[in-house]
Amino acid sequence: MTSDDYQALLLDYVWYSFWTAHEAGWQAALTLLPILAALSETAAEALIGHMSWFADRGSQEEAQLLADLAELAPPHFLDEWLARRRDEEPPSTRLRTRLTPVGLKRLTGVVPVPDLLGTVDDRQAALEVMRVRHDLREPTDHHDMSGDVNRLIRHAANSDQALAEPIAAALIAIARYQSQEPAGYAPLETAVRAALAADDLARQRPWDLETIASALGRGPRRHSLAPQADELHKRALAADPADAGILGNYANFLTTVRRDHDGAEALYRRALDADPTHANNLGNYAYFLTTVRRDHDGAEALYRRALDADPTDANHLGNYANFLTEVRRDHDGAEALYRRALDADPTHANNLGSYALLLSTLRRDRRGRSLLPARPLDADPADAGILGNYANFLNRKCAATMTGAEASPARPSTPTPPMPTSSAATRSSSPPCAATMTGPKPYRRASTPTPPMPTSPAITRTSHHRAPRP
């Protein structure tokens, strides 16, 4: 039975129950509403249409029941019905099926019809999906949701296959949430378990897996969680072996976390074979060639291709500017690129710090002296490279105050390969200043939601359900 067939049968059952036994119709509707709301927004709207049609001709208690189930803040799915009761013009807003905490609690307390087409297990699974959506939509604080993951996995084993997609979507939403603010060991482990369980339930979710794998690969425990992140990358790649974004992100992970530079280079090449104009992969491979392989000619060719593909990417503009300064000693060309980079993103901390460093140490330009202490630290007050360069700046300024002349500017040093993070290694025991390069940037498709993800989207399918009859 397909999901659409399943929904159509549920709606037909409710409609039949309303007409044959009014109380049984309401009991069936309240039993099935969470199942349909989890399966499809369209199907849930159709059921709400049935309920509102009968409530409009029923008692005040039935009208209050719908009001309790509805989202209180307009627009909501009762706007049209309420307007009709008040002899007002119905609003043109689209119906919604988002439930309030009061409505969700009311549905939870409903005793399900035992022999309904939707089983009790289906209903409990759907209610769990709706609870997770509500908790993620308005989280009070970051907390471990491992209990929610365990319940969803348990419900999935006993529910109809039609609910596999909504449960998988809820698990992915939890995985994204837990991977955003790693407050300790448990949330990250929960993210991995949720992502793997979602993939087991509903295959062909490569970008969901890739998003979570990339988040784990950038977190503070990226090395201890490397095996799990590696598994997620591999599953994503197995689902779509020719996706340039997934190939490039896996290459970034291998070089920055696993230190498997040969494997990373093979993936970079596969990624560029799949899409030769992928700006992010071109720029990241250029960074790899210059910091790991020391192939400066190859890196420069790739930087140029990356900027041809995307002339406004601040990361690659800044890294190419650093390359021109550190490798080619082309300071004029570097300054032009820094200006383009800051036009593209005026708050890019690494580029602000590196440009300030170029102005203050190589140009002896007062603009750099005013830029370095303020804007880079405002953009990223925790960046180690910027903090170190600012300390060097203050050290020279102090020396100048004591001697009556500014201390000689230190010569920028070439970053030590490999440089997996976005911060330059700057030691306080020695004053050299290093331009702050930006490490490989994970690629995200425009259609892929960027974390944090507060809600888990309903799976919407083409519906063939009948509208309420007049």
- Which domain CATH number covers 409? 1.25.40.10
Hey, how many other C-beta atoms are within 10 angstroms of the C-beta on 327?
A: 15
- Asked if the bond preceding 409 is cis, omega within 30° of 0, the reply is no
Which of these ranges, 255-264, 298-307, 372-381, has the smallest mean pLDDT?
372-381
Contacts of 400 (CB under 8 A, 6+ apart): 406, 407
pTM, whole model, 2 decimals? 0.69
111 and 54 fall within a common domain: yes
**What are φ and ψ of residue 260, in 5° steps?**
-95, 80
303 and 174 fall within a common domain: no
Residue 430 lies inside a defined structural domain of this protein? yes
> How far, in whole angstroms, is CA 432 from its chain's centroid?
37
111 and 126 fall within a common domain: no
Q: Structurally, how many domains does the chain consist of?
A: 3
pLDDT at 330 over 60: yes
85-94's contacts with Cβ under 8 Å and 24+ in sequence apart are 85/56
Task: Using pLDDT thresholds of 50, 70 and 90, give the confidence band for residue 75.
Answer: very low
Last residue of a domain, one of 202, 218, 241: 202
90-95 mean pLDDT = 50
334 and 432 fall within a common domain: yes
What is the number of helices (H) and of strands (E) in the chain?
21, 0
Residue 375 lies inside a defined structural domain of this protein? yes
Which of these ranges, 35-44, 241-250, 388-397, has the smallest mean pLDDT?
388-397
186 and 318 fall within a common domain: no
Residue-averaged pLDDT of the chain: 76
How many angstroms separate the first and last alpha carbons of the chain? 30
Domain that holds residue 339: 277-445
pLDDT at 231 over 90: yes
Q: What is d(CA 310, CA 7) in angstroms, rounded to the nearest whole number?
A: 45
| pLDDT value of position 383 | 55
Residue 469 lies inside a defined structural domain of this protein? no
Residue 255 lies inside a defined structural domain of this protein? no
pLDDT at 410 over 50: no
Q: What is d(CA 66, CA 357) in angstroms, rounded to the nearest whole number?
A: 63
Residue 261 lies inside a defined structural domain of this protein? no
Last residue of a domain, one of 117, 135, 162: 117
Question: Is the CB of residue 4 less than 8 Å from the CB of residue 36?
Answer: no
Question: Is the CB of residue 326 less than 8 Å from the CB of residue 316?
Answer: no
Task: Using pLDDT thresholds of 50, 70 and 90, give the confidence band for residue 456.
Answer: very low
